[in-house]
Each structure stands twice: as structure tokens, then as C-alpha cells.
Structure 1
Amino acid sequence: MKNAIKNGQARLLGIGKDARLKDWSRIFDVRDPAGCKAQLIIPMGASEAALITNLQLPLGRTARKQVLDSFMPKDPALFDIVSTPGWLNPGTFVTPCRTYSSNGSKPIIDQSALMLGHRFGRAGKLTDWQNRVAKPSYGNNLAMFALMAAFGGPLMRSAGLDTAGFHLVGPSSIGKTSVLVAAGSIWGGGGTIGFSRTWLATRNAIDQVAASHNETFLLLDEASLAGETPRDAARTILHAGYRLTGGEEKARRTDRHVRFSWRLLYMGSTEHSQDQLATICGHPLAAGQLVRLVDVAADAGCGMGVLEELHDPTTSPSRFSDKLRDAALQCYGTAGHAFLEQLVEWTHADPEAAAVYIERRMNFYLRHVNANAWGGPVARVARLFAFVYASGRLANKFGVLPWPWKDMLGAVSTVHQRILLPANAIALRTPKSSIDAVAGYITTNRDRFVDLTKRTSMTAAELQSAYGILYPTGSGSKEFLFANERFRNAVCAGLPADEVLSHLAAANFLRVQKGGKRTVTRDFPKPLGKARVISIKAAIVNQ
């Protein structure tokens, strides 16, 4: 829009603050030379000369003063500016092309930078998508699993989960791309591979790509094009995985800009497991990576690639796969639209409803697969599959996914059985492993904890989403506080939370309430006030 505005075609709408950038900007309603309406956002710190250049204001001193004065009213309207997708508040979710709000919020969407070139959008009707994409996927466990996972992004905050995802591992030409295109059609399309991105396109821009899919769904395909050599490709894929699960742009000494951050569910396709990729490129695999990005065998073992059910005895697996892909390229975005419309209404009416629903379905799934018998990474992976099941169930509750819940449970548990974990990933469950897991989480994430001595206000949502809380004690030291869901889903590193709490209590690292309760009441700044949390003594990191 820069340098495209003529005199008289710009009007100050108000001023706004971007919660991510922490910057105030002027917001202008403008028209380009073709007469199309748009909004232009210019930082408040921009000089008068820059403002004139951006809006092509008259250069005469008197005319310039008159126009600039009209752009600086005494009581301008105030707006929220949003530069990445995701939740603005419990009743407002933003995508690059629409704001879903049940509480009257009307943020300004910054269509520059991260929002440019997005593939969010809609084509066709929801019933078209259900008939042509969702129903053919029924009976094909990997396709059902991928579609269910696609709804998880907006629910990750409620579930207390950080960025995680899945690698669909298998040879080329077995239908992996069609599965990804079908899953991406929930959110949008328009590209040659629908809503998906290529590994190569993200090679030097993974942080921006991740932030532009914040709290939604990111798909990465065409692994063979990720580098000029197999080693380059392996390095690109592994690097993307590390960056994605980090949840924040890598800091550099010379950087002064606000770093990108994100929380999302991700799915990619490769021909090799992460273990194999690490061997190919000669780089050791980081500890814990296999439970944050889970390798899944894509081939269903039925002689039809990723497929198990063709629904038509006269067709072939390749024709079925092509037909599913073509349908997803033509019908897209309506499922995510319908899901978000209902989710924001539901969340606005009861901010805790989604968290309660997800927790109950996750616990049901974990009981179904007997996850309590497992420990370490295997248990942590089980929680991720439980989350996919819960996400799909909510999409079913909203009338978006048209499948019986028992078949959804069967699809997730079937794909769960195809995870690719090396034998050494199965850890022993001992008091030491529990203490080491909690101490390791605190040491790794302490810089991200909220220091309560520096806060004057705090909400329930901020407590739930915090990596942890540094809470001052009367002795001049600090204790580490965690919301219950954060502790169970992240801090325990896949170990059974009740078992971890028992081990911590026995080692005198857990503060307990009278009567042996493993949560304690603490005072927080308003509007939160008193809340029950899990409290870990600072001594755990000094052992």
C-alpha cells in the first residue's frame, strides 16, 4: 500500500497497540488507485517525513500542517492490533482473513509482514467438504487422525500444551501428500499443495512461517526438495523440527526486534525417521525431540499405502488418493470456519469449558490405551495422541466431523500403535527420574517463568498459560509454582503426574497443604486473587 495513496484518500481511524510487538501505531482507512479499501498501520514513532511519504501527503507547509493536525485528534479511537493468528481474548480468535468474536472485540488485522501470502480462506460449503473430504477419509485411520489433529491448534492453550507434532514416515507415492492436503483443507488452501508449505520454503524462514500459523495448524511436505543433497535435506528437516518445538525465534546478539513466538500443532511428511535423518546428516538427535515431534509409520500395511478403505471396489488406491486430494484442493476452509464460530461462543460463555472438555476426553483415551502402565517418553507421546482424540471429539460435538466417536477412538489408537520410537526411549520410572524430569524442566524453561515480583496484575488465563511462576517466599527465596494442567502435561515429561508428585513429596521438594493435599493456595495480583497451584521448592535445582 506504500506510495499508493493519493490526497484525500486517507482517513485516520484511530490508534492501536500490537500485543506482540508492544508498539503503538496510527491506523488509517485508505483507498488504493483502483478504489479498493484497505487499512494502513504506521508506527507512532514514524517521523513526519515518513508519514508524508507513506501517505503521499501534500508537501506545502500550510497544507501539510492541516492534514497532519487532522490525523492527531485529542481523543482518538483505540483498537487492538493483531499481527499473528490466534486468541486475542477468551471470546476472540483472529485469522488473517477474519475475526471470530462473541464479545464485541474488533481488532485491526495487520495485513503486512506475517499475514502476507497466507493460505487461510474458504471455498465451497461445509457440506461439500464433509461429503467430498471427511466422508471418504472415514475408515482410513491415518487420514482420520490427520483431520482430527488439524483442529488442535486453537485448543492447545486450554490444554496447557506447547508446540508439538507428527512426522508421517514412509516411501514416496503412498499417499502421504493427499493426507496432508486433506488435513490442511480444514483451514484453507489455494496453493498447489493446498494449505501446506514445502520444507524448502521454510528453510530460511521457519520462525516467520511458524508465527504465521500460531494456534492453528502447520503442514510441511515435499521433503525430497528440502536440499540439494540428502544430507542437506536431512539437516533442513531436523532444523525445522528443533525450531518449531522451541516455540520462539532464536535470539541473536545483534537483534533488537521483538522475537516471533508461536504455539501450534504441526504435521510433516518424510521418507526417513528423525533417527535416520540424524544419521544421514551426521548430527546427533537432541534429547526429547522424539516425544515433541513423533515419528509415525505412514503405511497402513494393507498393500494400499496410507489407505485401508476405498469405499468403491472399482477404484484403485492411486485414483482414490488423487480424488481425495483434488476434492481438498477445491473445498477448503469451511470446517475450520464452522469450528471457530462455535468455539469462540463456547469459550466466551465459559472460559474453562474447553479445558474441562479436553481434559476429560484425554483422560478417557489414556485409560483406553492403559497409559498408566507406561513411563517416560512413551507416556508423554500418549498424551499427545490423547489430545488429538479430544480435539476430534470436539469437532464432532460441533457437527463438523461426521464420524462416530468410537471410530474416531479407533483411528487414533491405531495410528498410536504405529509410532516409531527407538528402544532406548523407554525410560525407567524411579524417584530419581521424577525429580530429574521436574528439575530439568525448571532449568530449561526458567527464563520463561513469570516473576511475580514484577507483576501488578494477573488473570486465570495467564496462570494457565505460564511456563511457571517464580513466587517469593518469606525467607527471601522463591518457589516454583505451576498450574495443574501445565505440571501434568509438560513438567512431568510424560511420567504419571500422581507418581511424580509422590516422589517429590517423599524427597521433601513438594509443598503440601494441611491434610496432605498436593496443591497449595497462593495469593496472586488481581483480578486472579487466590488460586490453587502446585508448589516446588527451589532446593530441587540445587541438589
Structure 2
Amino acid sequence: MTEENKPQLITADGLSKAADQPAILDAVVDQHGSHRVKFGTATNNCWFSVSELQIDERSVFARLSNAGIQYLEARKKNAFKKEIQDHDGYRSGLVAAHPGWVGSHYVFGDGTVASPKDVPGEVIIAFSGDDKFTSAGTLKEWKTAIGKMITDQPLPLFVLCFALLAPILRFVRDMMNPQVELVGKPECGKTTLGVFASSVWAGDDDSEVGGGETWDMTINALDPLKIAHAGTLLFLDEANLAEEEVIIKAIYKTSSKGGRKRWTDREKLPNVGLALLSTSNDPLTNFVKASAVKKAGAQSRMATVTIDKNQPLGVLKFMPEGFKSSRAAMKHLRRVAHTSYGVAGRAFVHRLVESDPEEIQVEVDKQMARFLRRLRPQDGNGTSRAEQMFAAAFAAGILARKWGILPKRWGKLAPALLAVANCIDGSAASQGLHPSAMDRIKAYLKTVQADLIEYKRLKKPMDRQEFSNAAGVWRDLNGRRELTISTVRFQKEFPDHRDVMKELRASGAIKSENGKLSIKAPRYVCESGRVYVISLPHHAIAD
């Protein structure tokens, strides 16, 4: 074939190139102001951001290589970078850098999009989809196959509601990414239940954990996993495979919707909403050696559902109709998870995107309040994260029921979820699952009581280094005791310091400055730096 007869490709610059010659195919400024480029050929290409090329060019060249575009020589790399630098034909575009919500559109993990009928426009998919999120089977087949298996079964009904929670997180006020671990003896069915929960969104016939993953990873692998499962459920099995230092960090990182930002980053980091379900023989915090404060913070983020070791049927309350043993029942559930997957989550999302957001907000608020009144009859406010998580899962379940995804014949959701909530840590949820921020501050003060400094005993202000190491300075003020502590020390003691301070601020227990959680250090305490100032009951600090 002569040169002039070769297939031609029209590039983003309007120029004609050979179809097998890599070029800029498209270039957009996305909804966050980031400049993104689609580079390659008609059949082999990928998207990347210009700032990513500046900060971490190795990752961009690796992505190009995975797309079949090899730039190994410095000469070729420089020519490529110059082509990007010289390009100025950027158009505006709505870009999905990861799955989940993009405006009023929802992007599934395989790159397909659910859009409202009355909202036109293109959503540019700038990530590589994962085939495990491609659905298999039909919703009718899925419901028929599992109906008898899960009817009136509290734990299976709960994990279904929990699996559908992530897409409605945008309607749940002030909620971190929810996390639950199923803890029980070996072969009680918890892993199969996790595989079943993950099948709401994904599946993989060749994987023992279906659409899930395992804890056998490094901490650096977690952010990519979060992003790949944005807007859905991340199921992690085999906690015993996790390295000790990974577990606590993973719990904190997953609870946050953001990722770790480097000081050189200029792009807005993606907010990733997802739900995490973990399974293990023992609570995750038992696998690690950490301070009481860090463990308490982890426990407040990861609700532990303990499966009664004396329950002969494991995750099942009773033997489902049509099965002779719990083993046969769980084998059936796993078979369904490997043949019908991704259909329930898609059906839920399609109904969600076609609904009025304001109506969804009202319904979520209403159903959460309804559940919390049932959970805590004397006080329906629900102060713990776990209680709020159960309430939000209930709201998701009610929406799914309203839309025919979880049929009424499967049993009432409120009693099922209340029964599971009462399995948290082996005690009743209504007793309070995890300590509040104020309780954690009090626990900290007990451990450092001897090292606290009373203000009137200070002969002069401390220097910055000395104060950063101090447990805190206190004084009497208006019948209460005021604690002043360096932000450096506080952040070492409380890895989730922002959340702790936000909760304290909501109760009016801190001094703030221009909307910030910290204030400038008072001159009578320290010559410079910033501090947190917390108002405490008089008895919280002993004389």
C-alpha cells in the first residue's frame, strides 16, 4: 500500500495523519478546570491529565505503553511532551476520571453510563474500565434464584442493603465512607456472603471472591482499589493476609472520600464514595499493635458484626426452604453470585438517576430518621457512625424495595437490620457502638493526666518545640475546663483529627477562627504556632 493510500486519521488539530501514527485525538478542559488529553491511534489510546504528565510522567508513559504506544527513548519522549505542550485546541467537556457520580450522570466500573433522559450531553470516560463490572444475567433471574434463600434472613438482607448504599451517599449528610466487617469462625458462610454482596455490582467467574478483592495488598494499592470501586461496594476477604501496618491505615484511608495529596499536586483530587465490606475470623483491630486512641478511631470507622459462634447455621438464622443443609444453601448462593451479577446495582442506579434529587433527599432523610427512632426509642438522633450507617443502609433498602429490586416478600427490612445492629461488638447497638469525640478526648486526658500543665503554673510561655511535645495546657474558665493543645501533638494522637474537631465544633466545644478548626497560639501559652482549644466538663481534668 502506498503512503497516500494508507488509512488516515483526523487529529484534534484537524490534521490528517496515518491511522497507525499516534496523535492527539481529543483535548478537553474538564469540569474541575484540569486539562486532559486523549492520545494514541483510533484503536490504541488513553486519556491523561497534563498536570499528571508534569508531576509523574512515568505513570503516563506506563499507561501509553499499556495502550500499545511505546516511547522508550528520551528523544521520542521529549517529542511527545513538546506535542502536548504546543497543543492549544482544548474544548470544554464533562469527564469521568473514575466510576461513580459525574454531575447527574452515573458511570459504572466498566465505563458505561446511566444518564437522566432529560439531561443531554457526552460524558468522556477517561479511565480504563474493568470487565468485572459488566453485568451478567437479568434482574428477574437474580431475584428468582435468591428469593427463598434470603427471605427473612437478617444478615443476607443487611448485606444487600449495605451493598446498595454507596450511590446514595451524596444524599446522606456528613457521612464518611461506611465500613463493616463480618467476623466469625471459619466456614460460617461469611466469605460467601461477601461474594454475594459484591455481586450486586460485579463478578468474576475465575475468582474465588467473585467481584471482590483480598486484603493481600500493600497500602499503596488501596487508593487505586478505592477509585476502581467508587460508587459501589468494595469487598475485601482474608484479613489474615494483610500486613499489620496496612490494616489501621486502610481503615482510615477508606473512610475518607479523598486521596492522599502530594505538595506538588495542583489538580482537585477525586472524592470517592464507596462502601467497604470485610470478612475475617477476628476483628481487624486484633491483628495490629496500636495505641488505644488509634484503635478507638479505627473501631469508630469499622463496624464489627459478630456472627454468634454458637449459631449452627452461621450467617443464616434458619434453614432456607428447599435446602437440606447450610452448606448446600451457601453453595447455591455462591453459584448465583458467579452467574448473575451487576444487575441489581444497575437497576438501582437507573432508577436513581431518573428520580428527582430533591425527592430522593427527602426520602433518605425520612427513612434514616425512621430507622433511628426504632434503634433508639428514647433518643432518635443516632450519635455513632455505625448507627448512622445502619440508618443509611435501611434508606437504600427502602428505595430498592420501592423500585421492586428487593421484593416485599423477602421480609421486612427494619427488623432484619435492627437484628444485625444488635450484633455489633456482641452488644446492643442502642447502648452506643463507639465512643464520641468528647469521650475520646476524655480517654486521652486520662492517659496523660500526670503530664498536663495547669496554666497558672506556667512561669513563661513555652517555645514552639516544647509546646509541640506537651500533652496540653488547661485552665478554669466559666465553670468548665479549657484545654489548649498544639496541633502537632493533637494530630499525632488522633489520626482522624479533622473529624474529631468537626464533631466537637458541632457540639460547640471548641474555639475556632475564620472557619478554621485551630486558632493562633495564645501568647500566654506559646510564642508561636497554632493550637486546638477545647472546652471540657470540670471533672474531665483532675486538679
Short-chain TM bin: 0.5 to 0.7
The answer to whether the Cα contact below 8 Å between 1:300 and 1:308 also exists between their aligned partners in 2 is no
2:31 aligned with 1:15, yes or no? no
The answer to whether the Cα contact below 8 Å between 1:381 and 1:494 also exists between their aligned partners in 2 is no
What is the aligned partner in structure 2 of residue 106 from structure 1? 122
The answer to whether the Cα contact below 8 Å between 2:95 and 2:102 also exists between their aligned partners in 1 is no
The answer to whether the Cα contact below 8 Å between 1:307 and 1:317 also exists between their aligned partners in 2 is yes
- Cα gap change, 1:38 to 1:78, in 2 (>3 Å): farther
The answer to whether the Cα contact below 8 Å between 1:96 and 1:111 also exists between their aligned partners in 2 is no
Please state how far the C-alpha of 1:241 moved relative to its aligned partner: 1.3
2:324 aligned with 1:307, yes or no? no
Distance in 1 (CA, whole Å) between partners of 2:388 and 2:195 is 25
What is the aligned partner in structure 2 of residue 95 from structure 1? 109
Match of 2:236 among 193, 200, 220: 220
What is the aligned partner in structure 1 of residue 495 from structure 2? none
- Cα gap change, 1:138 to 1:97, in 2 (>3 Å): farther
What is the aligned partner in structure 2 of residue 410 from structure 1? 415
Please state how far the C-alpha of 1:127 moved relative to its aligned partner: 0.8
Q: Which amino acid aligns with 2:27?
A: I
Q: State the identity %.
A: 26
Q: Which amino acid aligns with 1:79?
A: G
Q: Which amino acid aligns with 1:362?
A: M
Match of 1:245 among 255, 259, 262: 255
What is the aligned partner in structure 1 of residue 364 from structure 2? 358
2:185 aligned with 1:174, yes or no? no
Match of 2:375 among 369, 372, 381: 369
Distance in 1 (CA, whole Å) between partners of 2:437 and 2:274 is 31
What is the aligned partner in structure 2 of residue 484 from structure 1? none
Please state how far the C-alpha of 1:23 moved relative to its aligned partner: 2.9
What aligned pairs does 1:40-55 form with structure 2 within 5 A after superposition? 40-43=46-49
The answer to whether the Cα contact below 8 Å between 1:196 and 1:219 also exists between their aligned partners in 2 is yes
Please state how far the C-alpha of 1:151 moved relative to its aligned partner: 0.6
Distance in 2 (CA, whole Å) between partners of 1:29 and 1:79 is 19
2:405 aligned with 1:400, yes or no? yes
Please state how far the C-alpha of 1:403 moved relative to its aligned partner: 3.2
- Cα gap change, 1:27 to 1:212, in 2 (>3 Å): same
2:31 aligned with 1:26, yes or no? no
What is the aligned partner in structure 2 of residue 327 from structure 1? 336
What is the aligned partner in structure 1 of residue 296 from structure 2? 287
SS at match of 1:14: strand
Distance in 2 (CA, whole Å) between partners of 1:492 and 1:295 is 24
What aligned pairs does 1:435-450 form with structure 2 within 5 A after superposition? none
TM-score, normalised to structure 1, is: 0.66
- Cα gap change, 1:210 to 1:323, in 2 (>3 Å): same
2:166 aligned with 1:153, yes or no? yes
What aligned pairs does 1:377-396 form with structure 2 within 5 A after superposition? 379-396=384-401
Distance in 2 (CA, whole Å) between partners of 1:241 and 1:118 is 27
Please state how far the C-alpha of 1:192 moved relative to its aligned partner: 2.8
SS at match of 1:201: coil
Distance in 2 (CA, whole Å) between partners of 1:354 and 1:435 is 34
Match of 1:271 among 278, 281, 305: 281
What aligned pairs does 1:424-463 form with structure 2 within 5 A after superposition? 433=438
SS at match of 1:205: helix
> Any stretches of 5+ residues in structure 1 without a counterpart?
32-36, 58-64, 438-489, 511-533
SS at match of 1:41: strand
The answer to whether the Cα contact below 8 Å between 1:93 and 1:344 also exists between their aligned partners in 2 is no
SS at match of 1:167: strand
Distance in 1 (CA, whole Å) between partners of 2:435 and 2:320 is 49
The answer to whether the Cα contact below 8 Å between 2:167 and 2:232 also exists between their aligned partners in 1 is yes
Q: Which amino acid aligns with 2:283?
A: S
Distance in 2 (CA, whole Å) between partners of 1:402 and 1:293 is 29
Distance in 2 (CA, whole Å) between partners of 1:91 and 1:52 is 28
Q: Deviations over 1:305-326 (max 9, x none)?
A: 1112332365211111111011
Distance in 2 (CA, whole Å) between partners of 1:153 and 1:92 is 12
**Greater Rg by CA:** 2
- Cα gap change, 1:432 to 1:142, in 2 (>3 Å): closer
What is the aligned partner in structure 2 of residue 478 from structure 1? none
Distance in 2 (CA, whole Å) between partners of 1:87 and 1:181 is 24
Q: How well do the aligned residues superpose, as a CA RMSD in angstroms?
A: 4.8
Match of 2:217 among 201, 205, 224: 201
The answer to whether the Cα contact below 8 Å between 1:169 and 1:298 also exists between their aligned partners in 2 is yes
What is the aligned partner in structure 1 of residue 452 from structure 2? none
The answer to whether the Cα contact below 8 Å between 2:502 and 2:517 also exists between their aligned partners in 1 is no
SS at match of 2:18: coil
The answer to whether the Cα contact below 8 Å between 2:188 and 2:314 also exists between their aligned partners in 1 is yes
What aligned pairs does 1:470-485 form with structure 2 within 5 A after superposition? none
What is the aligned partner in structure 1 of residue 475 from structure 2? none
Q: Deviations over 1:221-242 (max 9, x none)?
A: 0223335xxxx4xx43333212
Please state how far the C-alpha of 1:494 moved relative to its aligned partner: 8.5
The answer to whether the Cα contact below 8 Å between 1:92 and 1:344 also exists between their aligned partners in 2 is yes
The answer to whether the Cα contact below 8 Å between 1:139 and 1:309 also exists between their aligned partners in 2 is no
2:178 aligned with 1:164, yes or no? yes
- Cα gap change, 1:104 to 1:7, in 2 (>3 Å): same
Distance in 1 (CA, whole Å) between partners of 2:518 and 2:298 is 28
Distance in 2 (CA, whole Å) between partners of 1:306 and 1:427 is 24
- Cα gap change, 1:407 to 1:169, in 2 (>3 Å): same
SS at match of 1:335: helix
What aligned pairs does 1:124-143 form with structure 2 within 5 A after superposition? 124-143=137-156
Q: Deviations over 1:14-56 (max 9, x none)?
A: 3223557x5312336844xxxxx56532555779xx9999869
2:195 aligned with 1:186, yes or no? no
What is the aligned partner in structure 2 of residue 527 from structure 1? none
SS at match of 2:413: helix
Q: Which amino acid aligns with 1:177?
A: T
Distance in 2 (CA, whole Å) between partners of 1:152 and 1:186 is 11
